[in-house]
Structure formats: C-alpha cells, structure tokens
Copies of this chain bind each other. A is one copy, B any other.
Amino acid sequence: MEAGYALACQTTVEGDLVVSIPPQEKIERRLKEGKRAAKVELPFHYEIHDQPLRKYTITLEPPSMQDQTDDWSRLRRELERRYNLEGLRIQLAVLKKLGRILREGEWTVTTVVELDAWDRPDGPPCVIDIMPGEHLESLWAVAIDIGTTSNHVWLVDLISGEVMAQKADYNGQIARGEDVISRIIYASKGQRGRETEKQKSEGVPILDLQSLGKGESGLEELQRLVMETLNRLIEEAAQERGISTNEIYKAVVAGNSTMIHLFAGIPPETIRLMPFVTTINELPPLRAHAVGLNINSVGRVDCLPGVASYVGADITAGVVSSGMCKTGSLSLFVDIGTNGEMALGDCTWLISCACSAGPAFEGAGVVHGMRATAGAIEEVWINPESFEASYRVIGDGKPRGFCGSGLISLLAEMFVSGVIDKSGNIRLDLAGLEKPARSRLREGEHGAEYVVARADESATGEDIAITAVDIDNLMRAKAAIYAGFSILARSVGLSLADVEQVLIGGAFGQYINVENAIQIGLLPDKPFESFQFLGNTSIKGAYMALVSREMRERVREISKMMTYLELSADNTFFDEFNAAMFLPHTDESLFPSVKKNQKNHEET
C-alpha cells in the first residue's frame, strides 16, 4: 500500500474507486509490428476441381409468351444441363435478387454454386450467389484461427489456392478473461442490461455503456467481441486485395472447443465442470448470417471438429497440418499455451491429452510476466561465474518484463548457472559471495528473487526480477506438460525415447529455445534435429481443410480416430507431475544431455 498499489485479490472494495492498471499488465493491442506475412506453401498440388465451391457463367434464353418458365426453373434447367448437376437448390437471399440480376445481366449471369450439400458430399448442390455478366477472375474464402489470445485470418483465392492476405490481432474477448476458464465463467453471466437498468435507477453513473448496455448476456457479449475482431480482420484483408467481403463465400474455422462454442454462441459451461464435456465437438456447417461473420451472408462456415473439451479443432487442424498423421515415424505433437495440448502417434493411431499448464508461459501468473511484444525480454544469459545477467529485448528498447520464451530461457540459465537448484529454490546463499551478483539475489516482497534488469535499465523504472513464486508457477507448468508426454507414451506401452520427432505448434512454440526447454525438462531430451517448429499449425490446418477436400476429410477422420486421455482421471498423473517438479526431472537419466553439459554447482 505504501508503494502505491494493492493486490486486487486481497482488497475489499468499500466504496467507489478508480482502478489503475500498471502498464506492463495492460493488454498489448497489436501483434508484433513489422512482422511480414510469409508466403504459405502447400505440401500438395492445388486443384480447383477439388473445390466444392464453383463459379459458372451462363447465358439463358430470355422468357417469352411462348416460354413462361419461372426465372429459377430457367436458370436451374440450364445450369443442371450444362454442368451435369442434379437437384440444384437456391438460397432465399439469392432468390430475392434473382429476377433483377438476370435482367441486369441481359440473361448472362455468373453464379456461385456450392457443390457439396449441407454436410453431405453426395447431397444436392446450391446456388449461393448470382451477379450480372461474367466474373470468373476470382473466388474468395477465408481460413480462420480463433485462439484464446490471438485471432488469425487468411484470405484465400480459391482459383489459385494461394493465401493472398494474412491478418492477426488479439481476440477482443481478452478484456473479459485471459484464459478459457475465465471466459467460460464470464459466458455464464446473465444479461448485463438488467444490471444497467438497476444501476441507472439508483443513479449510479455508467462509464462504459457500450459494453454494459445492449441487454447482452455474457455469452452474447463474448460472441460479439470475437466476431468484431474477426470481422475487422476480414475487412482489412478484403481491403488489402480491393474486394468486398460479400465476395467471400466460405470460411473454415479452427480453434479450441471453448472458442468454437463462443463463436457459435453455444454456452461452454459444461466444458469446465466435471466430467468436462462439450455440447458438441463437430458443429454442423453454418451460414455466415447465423453467427454474424462478415462474409457473404449465406457463405458457408465450417468449424473444424475437435476431440474433447480440451483437445479442440486447433489440435486436429494442427495434427493434420503437421503431417504426423501421414508418417510412419512415431511423432509427438505439442501446442503449448495456457493448456499444453499434445498428441502422440503416427499414420495408424493417435492418442491425445491436455494438461492444465496454467498461463505462466504466456507471461501471466508471473510478477513481471508479459506478452511477447515490444519490451519483453525474450532471451537471458547468466554468467556462471559472476551471476550477472544479460538479455535480448523484443524491439531492442528497454525491457518491461519477461515473455514466455524469456522465462524458459531465464529458468534454464538460472539452473545451468546454479542460481537455482534442482528443486527450483533460489540459492540466496550465493548472495553472500563477494560478487556483484549480491544485489541480484535477494529477499524480496514475494520471497527470494533474482533481478534480471535493474531499475535504471528498465522501461518501467523498477527492477525486473523473477521470484520464488514465479519459479514455482513455471515449474508446475513445465511439470504438467512433461507429465502429459510421459503418460501419453506409457499409456500405449512406449517411452519417450521411442519418439522419433517432436512437432511444436502454436505461435509460442516458434520462439522457444530448444536447448533451454530441454534443460528445464519442458521438452524431452532429443537431438536438435528431432524438433520441428511449425508455427501456427491451427490456421495452417484450417487453410489446408479449406483448399483440399482430402485434408478436410482427414481432419474429420482424425477427430474420430484420435483417442482422448483424460489426465484428471488418470491415477498416475500426480506421480508423474511430482517426478517432473525437478530440474530437469527426478529421473536424470531421462535427460542425459543436460546432465553432461551442466556445471556442477550442487553440494556434492
């Protein structure tokens, strides 16, 4: 309180108050600037004929007193005959303009036709748009990844199959909770409009009418917020290519089960309650207007199928885009975020699980944690003699805190240099040495801490330190993930030594220093070449499912064939977790490379 702040969790609100949020806790609104979208390569040859979406230009005989066939029958008759279609249908939205467009185009029109029926590849095709004249130059669609933290939209030209624009931003739901659990709790709130009315009648001034008003339930608000983010990204992508969003006729969506529920406006409540089931793992195809997605209103929205509450479509999409389901080598796929979701298997079998790692690797639950934006320390080096720290900061400015990869690096360096012991305890005894490190190792407000950047070097004017509590959180996170690996392997009678490749998905995975991650026992001890960093495998999977019928079918197959292991029902989890609560692990034989390279600071 003297320092000018209070812990919200320990403060009782007794009257009106103003809450100031320290800068490093504020959500950064922009994903890393200046990051250029890389050209996306498909691992297969694109075939337009593989598309269930087509454009056909057709010229009709105009009606006459001798042929008074209605407009739709006239168009259908000719489309069916020319393109060998059967049972062709039409959307009401298209019927509403059919008469006008046929005449504007003087009986030459371009139609957009979905060849796949609603969820049935053998079902009847459907006209979803019509325009006057010939317009065969492009056919647009989007791949969407709804992350709990960030959302990605790729605009795809289905004529060439190429990604023509990539946009990303933080999920607009973030201000309503940083992880899926808080989102689920927020979604279960009733209509906030009622509170507002009450507050109004009591004369309480409403500061944020926009988010309070509208009589929205928490669920409706979260759906609106994510849709606002996605719609802005779609609009930006469309603008970049100079097209209208009405020209986008399809969306394929990946995301974890909670994000997909919120996207569709389905209450996610049961996901967080025993026995942790979703309402639905594979949504039926939707029309864009049914959820409010800003593409053509009757454009089809396919949400990719997930496997379970905590192994969602982001993982099935990730597994497909990783290629692990096509290889004969035993592969381990992992997507580290708030939850560590992972899958083990090859082309013949797959088993998956999710461990609640907590948000430590995302910079939350750590005093000086932050997202991977400008000012985040992303790598740390500690001099094993002087215990002096040096570091690299994203954007090269002054540091403001640690992002996830910085924390992994820091933990590894502290361990290797001996600042912490196998159990993760900060060795304050080292502070007694007559070395400049003295001031870096100290007893702080939250227990022992190690200062990485001193107040005079930091952007915040405060010491940037890691505390014993932070370390405990990081240890729990890495232990949960490693326990997951172990149990997955053992459940099928294998050991992690049998794993031939480790595929790391998720934006976060791209920035992990493998050596550091092995040193702390987060990743299994394998040669560097066993690891592949795949970036955002969720959006890649959505893109593949969008452009390839085979990939779409593979995602569905995987969602059906993948075994899900519920760790909270596994009675060995606790043992495995405890065994992994050491650096790198209780069983050092699992990490031979760490043992070999580690300087021995232990009392032996």
| Chain B residue contacts of A65, Cβ below 8 A | 274-276, 566, 568-569
Check A43 for interface membership: any CB of B closer than 8 A. Answer: no
Q: Are A275 and B100 in contact (CB under 8 A)?
A: no
Q: How far is the CA of A87 from the CA of B284 in the complex (A)?
A: 11
Q: How far is the CA of A280 from the CA of B94 in the complex (A)?
A: 11
| Chain B residue contacts of A281, Cβ below 8 A | 70, 72-73
Check A265 for interface membership: any CB of B closer than 8 A. Answer: yes
Q: Are B569 and A277 in contact (CB under 8 A)?
A: no
Check A99 for interface membership: any CB of B closer than 8 A. Answer: yes
Question: Which one of A124, A276, A279, A568 has the highest number of Cβ atoms from chain B below 10 Å of its Cβ?
Answer: A279
Check A461 for interface membership: any CB of B closer than 8 A. Answer: no
Interface flags for A30-59 (1: CB within 8 Å of B; 0: not) read 000000000000000000000000000000
Q: How far is the CA of A73 from the CA of B307 in the complex (A)?
A: 11
Q: How far is the CA of A582 from the CA of B73 in the complex (A)?
A: 41
Minimal beta-carbon separation of A99 from chain B (angstroms): 5
Please pick, from B100, B119, B283, B290, the residue contacting A267 in the complex, using a CB distance under 8 A: B100
Contacting B at CB under 8 A, from A275-328, are 275-281, 283-284, 286, 290, 308-309
| Chain B residue contacts of A63, Cβ below 8 A | 275, 277
Check A269 for interface membership: any CB of B closer than 8 A. Answer: yes
Minimal beta-carbon separation of A332 from chain B (angstroms): 23
Q: How far is the CA of A72 from the CA of B62 in the complex (A)?
A: 48
Check A597 for interface membership: any CB of B closer than 8 A. Answer: no
Contacting B at CB under 8 A, from A64-89, are 64-73, 87, 89
Chain B residue nearest in CB terms to A291: B92
Minimal beta-carbon separation of A289 from chain B (angstroms): 9
| Chain B residue contacts of A119, Cβ below 8 A | 89, 124
Interface flags for A438-451 (1: CB within 8 Å of B; 0: not) read 00000000000000
Q: How far is the CA of A148 from the CA of B67 in the complex (A)?
A: 26
Q: How far is the CA of A67 from the CA of B276 in the complex (A)?
A: 10
Q: How far is the CA of A290 from the CA of B298 in the complex (A)?
A: 12
Please pick, from B70, B95, B265, B270, the residue contacting A99 in the complex, using a CB distance under 8 A: B270
Check A564 for interface membership: any CB of B closer than 8 A. Answer: yes
Please pick, from B72, B92, B308, the residue contacting A286 in the complex, using a CB distance under 8 A: B92
Given A65-B566, A267-B99: A277 and B70 within 8 A (CB)?
yes
| Chain B residue contacts of A286, Cβ below 8 A | 92
Question: Which one of A71, A103, A119 has the highest number of Cβ atoms from chain B below 10 Å of its Cβ?
Answer: A71
Chain B residue nearest in CB terms to A69: B277
Please pick, from B72, B265, B279, B309, the residue contacting A98 in the complex, using a CB distance under 8 A: B279
Given A119-B89, A123-B123: A265 and B68 within 8 A (CB)?
no
Minimal beta-carbon separation of A281 from chain B (angstroms): 5
Minimal beta-carbon separation of A367 from chain B (angstroms): 35
Q: How far is the CA of A276 from the CA of B65 in the complex (A)?
A: 8
| Chain B residue contacts of A381, Cβ below 8 A | none
Check A26 for interface membership: any CB of B closer than 8 A. Answer: no
Q: How far is the CA of A39 from the CA of B327 in the complex (A)?
A: 71
Q: Are A64 and B279 in contact (CB under 8 A)?
A: no
Please pick, from B98, B99, B266, B277, the residue contacting A68 in the complex, using a CB distance under 8 A: B277
| Chain B residue contacts of A274, Cβ below 8 A | 65
Q: List 20 A-B contacts (CB under 8 A).
A: A65-B569, A66-B569, A67-B275, A70-B277, A70-B308, A71-B277, A71-B279, A72-B279, A72-B280, A90-B280, A92-B284, A95-B264, A96-B266, A99-B266, A99-B267, A99-B269, A99-B270, A99-B279, A118-B118, A119-B124
New contact pairs (19) apart from A70-B277, A120-B123, CB-CB < 8 Å: A63-B275, A65-B276, A68-B308, A68-B566, A70-B279, A70-B308, A71-B277, A71-B278, A72-B281, A92-B283, A95-B279, A96-B264, A96-B265, A98-B280, A99-B266, A99-B270, A100-B269, A118-B118, A123-B123
